[in-house]
């Protein structure tokens, strides 16, 4: 009984604190998960999920858009409670989420008139020219392959420009970002389906929010089991959260009509 009363007291105290001072969440813009626009404010599927789930606990959120370096600096100074899209080593001792609300969805990007129609396996690019970004940490299917010719570039947009100019044959990069860059920069590139890989992303919570961290993950798990997260992914992104999370990449993209709607949204 004493433990139950202690836990209840902690919950009530935490609720009172957050009612007076909102949870401060910092992120580096990553549409369509989280972004800021001066006209429309903060938006994205992760932003909406956090607002709704924390809102059910009576907790307000103060979002801030900044570079990852700035978010981490403010976290070390005690000015930020949660950092999105980060890694454990960036803030030792902070709590790392285990249930993802977003993924780095990696597709195989090729020139517009390339002969490949679908992604079958990494080996289909044997002896071809692959563009890799210097600071990327690629997942095993890509990092472990050696039978191609590597052209390393300093940044991702340079890789896509070289791909568009046919100086390289394939680039493995983010689905959403690639779509936007292709439209904005008028690049002659396209992505092969299905996905190559999906890397779950994580958030970091200050240790003082351990109770809140557990409550959020519990609510998120409930939303996943009920199909709510998958529904939001399907309606907003034209993707199945459940399929991506389980590694069923052939089932990740919704039928053609939904994909055309998704393409318009992410541009």
Supply the CATH number for residue 129's domain.
3.40.190.10
209 and 122 in a single domain? The answer is no
Range 238-247 contact pairs with CB under 8 angstroms and sequence separation of 24 or more? 238/262, 238/263, 238/265, 239/105, 244/103, 244/105, 244/195, 244/198, 245/100, 245/103, 245/198, 245/200, 247/198
The tally of domains found in the chain comes to 2
96-109 in b/e burial notation, b at 16+ Cβ within 10 A? ebebbbbbbbbbbb
97 and 222 in a single domain? The answer is yes
52 and 168 in a single domain? The answer is no
Give residue-wise pLDDT tens across range 42-99. Answer: 999 999 999 999 999 999 999 999 999 999 999 999 999 999 999 999 999 999 999 9
Read off φ and ψ for residue 250, nearest 5 degrees. Answer: -70, -20
72 and 119 in a single domain? The answer is no
Range of the domain at 10: 2-102+201-226
CA–CA dist 97, 160 (Å, integer): 32
**pLDDT number for residue 144:** 92
- 260 within domain boundaries: no
Domain boundary among 182, 199, 216: 199
Q: Tell me the pLDDT band of 149, cut-offs 50, 70 and 90.
A: very high
92 and 211 in a single domain? The answer is yes
**How big is the chain, counted in residues?**
267
CA–CA dist 105, 174 (Å, integer): 5
- 256 within domain boundaries: no
**pLDDT number for residue 256:** 52
CA–CA dist 242, 127 (Å, integer): 34
- 250 within domain boundaries: no
Best CA proximity match to 49, nearest among 190, 201, 167, 191: 201
37 and 80 in a single domain? The answer is yes
**pLDDT number for residue 66:** 97
- 96 within domain boundaries: yes
98 and 183 in a single domain? The answer is no
32 and 75 in a single domain? The answer is yes
- 25 within domain boundaries: yes
Is 60 exceeded by the pLDDT of residue 254? yes
């Amino acid at each position: 009984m004493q433990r139950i009363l202690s836990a209840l007291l902690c919950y009530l105290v935490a609720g009172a604190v957050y009612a007076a001072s909102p949870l401060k969440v910092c992120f580096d813009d990553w549409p369509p998960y989280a972004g800021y626009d001066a006209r429309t404010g903060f938006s994205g599927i992760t932003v909406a999920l956090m607002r709704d789930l924390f809102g059910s606990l009576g907790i307000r959120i103060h979002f801030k858009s900044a570079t990852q370096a700035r978010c981490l600096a403010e976290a070390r100074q005690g000015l930020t409670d949660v950092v999105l899209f980060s890694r454990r080593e960036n803030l030792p001792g902070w709590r790392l989420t285990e249930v993802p609300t977003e993924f780095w969805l990696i597709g195989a990007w090729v020139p517009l008139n390339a002969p490949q129609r679908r992604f079958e396996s990494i080996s289909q690019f044997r002896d071809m020219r692959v563009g890799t970004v210097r600071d990327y940490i690629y997942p095993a299917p890509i990092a472990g392959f050696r039978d191609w010719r590597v052209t390393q570039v300093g940044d991702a947009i340079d890789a896509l420009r070289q791909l568009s100019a046919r100086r390289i044959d394939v680039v493995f990069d983010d689905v959403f970002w690639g779509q936007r860059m292709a439209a904005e920069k008028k690049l002659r590139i396209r992505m092969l389906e299905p996905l190559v890989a999906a890397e779950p992303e994580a958030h970091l919570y200050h240790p003082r929010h351990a109770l809140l961290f557990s409550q959020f993950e519990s609510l998120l798990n409930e939303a996943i089991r009920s199909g709510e997260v998958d529904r939001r992914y399907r309606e907003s992104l034209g993707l199945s959260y459940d399929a991506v999370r389980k590694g069923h990449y052939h089932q990740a993209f919704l039928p053609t009509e939904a994909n055309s709607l998704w393409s318009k949204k992410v541009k």
